[in-house]
Amino acid sequence: MTSEQAGALTKRILSFAQVPEVEVSGQFARRGHLRFARNAASTSGETESADVTVTAWKGRRKASVSASLSLSAGQADDGALRRLVGEAEALAALSPEDGEYLPLLGPQTYPEVNAWDRATAELAPAARAKAVGEAIAVAKSRKVVAAGFFQNSGVARALANSAGLFACFPASSVSFSITARTPEGTGSGFAAVRSMRVQAVDCQEAAAIACKKALDSRAPREMAPGAYPTILEPQAAADLFAGLLFSAQARAADEGRSVFSAPGGKTRIGEKTFDSRVTLYTDPQHPVAASAPLGEDGFPAAKAYLSRQGVLENLTYSRYWAQQKGRKPGPFFVNLVMDGEGKSLAQMIGSLERGILLTRLWYIRAVDPQQGLVTGLTRDGSFYIEKGQIRYPIKNLRFNESLVRILGEVEGLGTPQRVAGGEGSVPMLLPAIQVRSFRFTSVSDAI
């Protein structure tokens, strides 16, 4: 759906409102996928969807109603749209008052973002099949068993309200992930790639990496839990970073509920919080990891630093909390980029007398938000390093660790790569990270 079409649709929806404040948000998407398992394609599909949410306010009371619309010839039925708005208004009348109510934002100015590639958004099923077929051929040649998922999409995000705000941002995306297992089941490897453009995704290369990991991780040895120098490959870093932005909310820090809280109801903004090599920022216009510049309620997102040379520079103020504290709303972290220093993985491994290399982390859960502490497990390839060389694979380990703590323990950084974060995560561009210590608490027999 084009910006003009989204504008026309949201304007029609708003025209049915009987209350002065109504907001319409929508996602108009075309998605294709191919799933494979046991070295063969298993399911394939292509969908087109138009998902709309209408939020209506009656005074300080509000309610939202969502629906999937059928857009025949680009048009939705007026009766269906009228009912959608009417239901939101009726439910708003029954809702409790919102103690943090703020009036709708008026028209905003947004940075220009180039996140759209037509070839990626409209990739044909045959092209998906060819890419996956080449990856499966790599797995068969290495005599391992592969499973994974290829998906491409074109999504237009739109937001409009009765105060005159309108924004629409199209974005394309393609992702490929593959898990390879050895036939006897003792080795497992993983690789994933993601981009805005299909030309940047090499499924054969990803398959080769996953297969090598699987073969190299056969018959792992048990290693005693403890704190070890550790190298997190970009994917492992992404798995750990997924929860960072939840910790970066100013309100939680002001109220003493965050790892970024300071005594006396203050925050750690302005403090040296990480190693001086740690620079983290958001930039919706980034050429590799662009994102729609839509913050809370449609407030514009722009480039801003979470940390610069280790100093905590910003936390996110919601519109309400910014008003309470006399601050400007934001910054809104719609993507996350970490600068690197160009060290290769081989250089990092070669610098370690003794340590651990991690491919991937999973099943990560919060333990203590005031420490930024999480627990989780390693998977799909963990290796013991001794005297600058990988010596052997090790069994998976559970860890209890704080990303904030280990970012203060940085020994080296690789070259940033576009990584496939977890479900719902923002686009991320991260390097491999070498840290002085990473705390492992127990051994897991799972492969």
**Beta pairing partners, 169:** 157
313 and 360 co-located in one domain: yes
Mean pLDDT confidence for 312-332: 96
125 and 59 co-located in one domain: yes
* Rounded Cα distance, 308 and 317, in Å: 18
pLDDT band at 73 (very low <50, low <70, confident <90, very high): low
Domain boundary at 176, 194, 214, which?
214
pLDDT band at 129 (very low <50, low <70, confident <90, very high): very high
149 and 239 co-located in one domain: no
The alpha-carbon radius of gyration of the chain (Å, integer) is 24
172 and 25 co-located in one domain: yes
209 and 329 co-located in one domain: no
* Rounded Cα distance, 391 and 382, in Å: 11
Domain hosting 287: range is: 220-447
pLDDT of residue 10: 95
Q: Tens digits of per-residue pLDDT, 357-389?
A: 999 999 999 999 999 999 999 999 999 999 999
Q: What percent of the chain has pLDDT over 70?
A: 98
pLDDT at 232 over 90: yes
* Cα dihedral: 245, 251, 253, 256 (round 10): -140
Q: Tens digits of per-residue pLDDT, 398-422?
A: 999 999 999 999 999 999 999 977 6
158 and 101 co-located in one domain: yes
* Domain count for the chain: 2
pLDDT at 249 over 60: yes
176 and 204 co-located in one domain: yes
195 and 236 co-located in one domain: no
Domain boundary at 160, 188, 214, which?
214
Cβ–Cβ < 8 Å for 117, 196: yes
330 and 419 co-located in one domain: yes
Q: Tens digits of per-residue pLDDT, 157-200?
A: 999 999 999 999 999 999 999 999 999 999 999 999 999 999 99
103 and 15 co-located in one domain: yes
173 and 316 co-located in one domain: no
Residue 250's φ and ψ, nearest 5 degrees, are -60, -35
CATH code at position 180: 3.30.2290.10
210 and 229 co-located in one domain: no
Domain boundary at 181, 199, 214, which?
214
Q: Tens digits of per-residue pLDDT, 20-31?
A: 999 999 999 999
